[in-house]
Structure 1
């Protein structure tokens, strides 16, 4: 599941990684380039909860390999379309594929992890590794062959589809039982909505920096493509450490304590990225990555425990929408950068983790739902035992 997650989330990171190449080869403005990020995010944000609600009604494991291929196909075609409108359309298709993947994948991962924070951290790590590899993959393909070489970016999707198909076979029966045994407890919508508000704040910061940190670091350091790609890689790669650390820290200190401290760190780190000049910006990019990624898997498990009767919906919002909804704000950041400067446009991002921290104040640790011990006796698969 983790490896398949990596292959799919390459395509969330790839859209932002393609932005500098769209600017260089097609002379897109900041607003036009951020529109590409919006295209990947808009439909994804709208349909993500829909897919979550559908998987609450009936498990749909066949979505995993199909969505992997759909996510890859859209990005692969984005470099060979001459029309801006067609570019937006194929990137939007990619966003839908990624949206379809996450709710069902999170359900299967929960079944495989048996509710372990650390195990869910490893699943989330897969997605973050995909993010981290995206700028390197895009740079290797597009920097050498130009945007016309983008069809080569389909390769991870093919591998991801194969991995997802294997995961479906090995977790299918356990996921089916899990969906029955965990459909108990009381949904705490008030706490879930407050958590979701914090996730939206985190998402806007993450997607805003993903879209523009490469261009911004080039300006701040006077470096070229390598400087920008390095900054984006650091932003994504720090998540590999942060996500696993988040699960382990949560088992020691509690999920909400770790979340609140991570959001506080993000305020200071984002301020450093925007305001500190010179090569020191890379240090603050790394700290920002840690602050944004430590809560990642904790958002998922908290959301699922706040909505024990709607695991798919909770997964779709916390795991998928958490990333995609930030793209809705990207055009506003780009438009502000066009009229003022990129630095001025990034300054508002400093306040958002602080707002997220306020939303987390007062939240209480949810009580995981008790297993339903009245399941039919015909269920005999020992791997399904809670």
Structure 2
């Protein structure tokens, strides 16, 4: 497999003009993201099995998520900052290899602490994968940054949706050891990313040695940039703490409230995650057309009526509301990442690492705290409380209008 640009002379990384959008690269990255995040999503999807096998409390379930999310969050900004100055194209298949090790360890874990190590390894693999692959997506965008990020991220969201389905079809019937059968997924990812790495390495070799964007072009002061980044981080907090309630506890909520079997609850989680993938796909291109600020504002604040209604709905309405929530809320992430990269165009990798890392970290801390809250109160109360988080979306009004 090879990828070719339609222009003769290589452009600086992240060039907005002079290149065609390289869809072969973007689709390959998206498929690799799908494989990576399918493995990640298997972890929360098998929580009911692990909870029963190891007799875990909700707090311990939250700690598994915390172990995964913290390694995924703390390393990503540092890796992104380092690779902004020293691109490492072959880190992509290496990161997928670490994910493979975590998956195999999870399949054969015989103790709670071994599960924590496996979860941490999967998080490390994600830390290596996301910043550099997001940079490659921007490089291949041809200036359509929102579209490129959406194509890249929709693979991850689709993988997150597939994980619970695979768990329901493969792992629940055959048990924890069946996780090892899915090692084919990261192995395929290593092959695809090796091809991407060769293309990326050739681009690095051909590009000007000190190519950097000339000027930010948006005319904002450092103070305005810092305030805008702070707003984006607050919006990330709102989005990902709420998503943590779904990713870690939605199956338990459905089992407890509606007495669903585990497999049916996981299929319902697939509905939510599938809607999230659709929202991610449409959010970026819409942001390219109408402005990312409007997408961010409408996504975070616009989901509020549906989150408020969810804890009081019957089962069919709950499933319908979960689809709407997943679609609307997930449309913001590509817009948030690209908006932040436009604020700091010379720090594309660091921004990607920061925001992907914070997504992991916020979700991990949120899952741990929500687990403690669920043990102290109830799963239903968790959803009643987190329903108000989208109110933070009001802050999007204060983002600069010229990006």
Name the TM-score, length of structure 2 as normaliser: 0.86
Contact 1:299 1:319 in 2 (8 A): no
Residue by residue, what CA displacement relative to the aligned partner does 1:299-333 show, whole Å, maximum 9, x if unpaired? 22111111112111101122343244211121211
Cα gap change, 1:100 to 1:366, in 2 (>3 Å): farther
Aligned to 1:184: 214
Residue 277 of structure 2 is aligned with which of 240, 247, 255?
240
Quote the Cα distance in structure 2 between the aligned partners of 1:233 and 1:49. 29
Asked if 1:26 is matched to 2:54, the reply is: yes
Aligned to 1:169: 198
Contact 1:125 1:240 in 2 (8 A): yes
Asked if 1:276 is matched to 2:313, the reply is: yes
Quote the Cα distance in structure 1 between the aligned partners of 2:124 and 2:385. 29
Aligned to 1:129: 158
Deviation at 1:67, TM superposition (A): 0.6
Quote the Cα distance in structure 2 between the aligned partners of 1:296 and 1:337. 27
Structure 1 stretches lacking a partner, 5+ long? 368-386
Contact 2:89 2:198 in 1 (8 A): no
Asked if 1:360 is matched to 2:396, the reply is: yes
TM superposition outliers: structure 1 runs of 4+ over 6 Å: none
Deviation at 1:49, TM superposition (A): 0.9
Structure 2 stretches lacking a partner, 5+ long? 1-28, 217-221
Contact 1:112 1:174 in 2 (8 A): no
Residue by residue, what CA displacement relative to the aligned partner does 1:233-280 show, whole Å, maximum 9, x if unpaired? 012111221112112322332111111111122222222332312221
Aligned to 1:302: 339
The 10-residue stretch of structure 1 (73-82 or 85-94) with the greater mean CA deviation from structure 2: 73-82
Aligned to 1:230: 267
Contact 1:38 1:327 in 2 (8 A): yes
Aligned to 1:100: 128
Contact 1:108 1:175 in 2 (8 A): no
Q: Secondary structure, in 3 states, of the residue corresponding to 1:211?
A: helix
Cα gap change, 1:255 to 1:66, in 2 (>3 Å): same
Aligned to 2:348: 311
Quote the Cα distance in structure 1 between the aligned partners of 2:378 and 2:54. 21
Quote the Cα distance in structure 2 between the aligned partners of 1:297 and 1:178. 28
Aligned to 2:176: 147
The 10-residue stretch of structure 1 (72-81 or 335-344) with the greater mean CA deviation from structure 2: 72-81
Deviation at 1:200, TM superposition (A): 2.2
Q: Secondary structure, in 3 states, of the residue corresponding to 2:398?
A: coil
Quote the Cα distance in structure 1 between the aligned partners of 2:152 and 2:204. 15
Cα gap change, 1:60 to 1:343, in 2 (>3 Å): same
Deviation at 1:182, TM superposition (A): 4.5
Quote the Cα distance in structure 2 between the aligned partners of 1:178 and 1:273. 53
Quote the Cα distance in structure 1 between the aligned partners of 2:208 and 2:156. 23
Cα gap change, 1:189 to 1:183, in 2 (>3 Å): farther
Deviation at 1:115, TM superposition (A): 3.0
Cα gap change, 1:44 to 1:126, in 2 (>3 Å): same
Quote the Cα distance in structure 1 between the aligned partners of 2:46 and 2:179. 10
User: What pairs with 1:1-386 in structure 2 (closer than 5 Å)?
Assistant: 1-116=29-144, 117-174=146-203, 177=207, 181-186=211-216, 188-355=225-392, 357-365=393-401
RMSD: 1.9
Q: Secondary structure, in 3 states, of the residue corresponding to 1:309?
A: helix
Q: Secondary structure, in 3 states, of the residue corresponding to 1:113?
A: coil
Quote the Cα distance in structure 2 between the aligned partners of 1:179 and 1:223. 58
Deviation at 1:360, TM superposition (A): 1.6
Deviation at 1:135, TM superposition (A): 0.7
Residue by residue, what CA displacement relative to the aligned partner does 1:93-143 show, whole Å, maximum 9, x if unpaired? 110111111110100010011231223211111111111111112223311
Residue by residue, what CA displacement relative to the aligned partner does 1:21-53 show, whole Å, maximum 9, x if unpaired? 112322211111111111101122111111111
Question: How many aligned residue pairs are there?
Answer: 366
Quote the Cα distance in structure 2 between the aligned partners of 1:229 and 1:179. 49
Contact 1:220 1:277 in 2 (8 A): no
